[in-house]
């Protein structure tokens, strides 16, 4: 049998993927990402937050066996934990992996669970970034639910991007969707809503660092309100928080 040609560098593959799928629908981008050899083995990372169910449903329709990584920081709302179990059961997701922080690291760095008060970046790194990096190690890429409309730092989001500091590809099938697109998809498919949405939460993370947002505010205005921080810590480069469009 002929040997397979080696893959091009990840930046070249991402540029090619964005060219080839530039005018495709979200579901088509997702379906191709799950089968295109340029992407490789892939998992989905989901917060099971305010809008997560739309993309989770889309994945379930295509392939219920896709690994779904759920980060339980041990500081989530009880409503999120219950919602995660309900959605996974309703969609019959076959491979949901609940990722938790390292016990020894928590004991050494945040034994009283108050690190978020003094250093939220360090808390995110401890409870989200490092556990996620470990969970993603076997994969060539991962699927996110990020969208351009969610804030200025995401305004130029493409379907495919290189995860900074790695050889992994991030896939953003809903990058071009607007809030109305998500709501319409959820209504048309009769998908359950996160119970905190009715209380004014439009972007839902850990309980101590998430607040409701007012009418007209950015969706993520309730995350780390009053702090110079706008990303959860999943988007780090070599252990450092990536801000803005970097």
Is residue 22 packed enough to be buried (19+ CB in 10 Å), middle (13-18) or exposed (0-12)? exposed
pLDDT in tens, 33-66: 999 998 999 999 999 999 999 999 999 999 999 9
Which CATH number covers residue 194?
3.40.50.620
Instruction: Read off the DSSP letter of residue 125.
Output: I
Domain that holds residue 160: 10-241
5 found inside a domain: no
Catalytic residue among 124, 206, 209, 232: 232
Q: What is the C-alpha separation between 11 and 176, in angstroms, rounded?
A: 21
231 found inside a domain: yes
Pick out the chain residues at pLDDT < 50.
Answer: 1-3, 233, 235-246
216 found inside a domain: yes
Instruction: Read off the DSSP letter of residue 128.
Output: I
User: Can you tell me whether residue 83 is helix, strand or coil?
Assistant: helix
Mean pLDDT, all residues of the chain: 87
3 found inside a domain: no
Q: What tokens does 189 get? A: 């498919």
246 found inside a domain: no
pLDDT in tens, 150-166: 666 566 789 999 998 88
Total domain count for the chain?
Answer: 1
**For residue 211, what pLDDT is reported?**
86
206 an active-site residue? no
1 found inside a domain: no
Q: What is the C-alpha separation between 116 and 224, in angstroms, rounded?
A: 10
**For residue 52, what pLDDT is reported?**
95
Place of tokens 């004991």: 107
184 found inside a domain: yes
């Amino acid at each position: 049998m002929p040997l397979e040609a080696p893959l091009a560098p990840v930046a070249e593959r991402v540029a090619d993927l964005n060219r080839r799928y530039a005018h495709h629908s979200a579901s088509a981008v997702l379906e191709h990402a799950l089968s295109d050899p340029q992407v490789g083995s892939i998992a989905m990372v989901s917060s099971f937050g305010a809008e997560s169910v739309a993309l989770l449903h889309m994945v379930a329709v295509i392939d219920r066996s896709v690994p779904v990584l759920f980060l339980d920081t041990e500081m989530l709302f009880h409503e999120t934990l219950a919602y995660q179990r309900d959605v996974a059961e309703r969609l019959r997701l076959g491979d949901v992996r609940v990722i938790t922080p390292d016990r020894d690291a928590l004991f050494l760095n945040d034994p009283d669970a108050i690190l978020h008060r003094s250093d939220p970046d360090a808390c995110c790194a401890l409870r989200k970034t490092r556990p996620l990096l470990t969970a993603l190690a076997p994969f060539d890429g991962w699927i996110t639910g990020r969208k351009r409309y969610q804030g200025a730092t995401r305004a130029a989001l493409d379907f495919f991007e290189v995860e900074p500091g790695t050889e992994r590809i991030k896939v953003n099938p809903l990058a071009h969707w607007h809030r109305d697109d998500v709501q319409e998809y959820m209504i048309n498919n009769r998908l359950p809503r996160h119970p905190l949405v009715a209380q004014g939460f439009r972007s839902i993370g850990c309980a101590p660092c998430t607040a409701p947002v007012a009418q007209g505010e950015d969706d993520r205005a309730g995350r780390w309100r009053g702090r110079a921080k706008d990303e959860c810590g999943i988007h780090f480069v070599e252990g450092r928080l990536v801000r803005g469009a970097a």
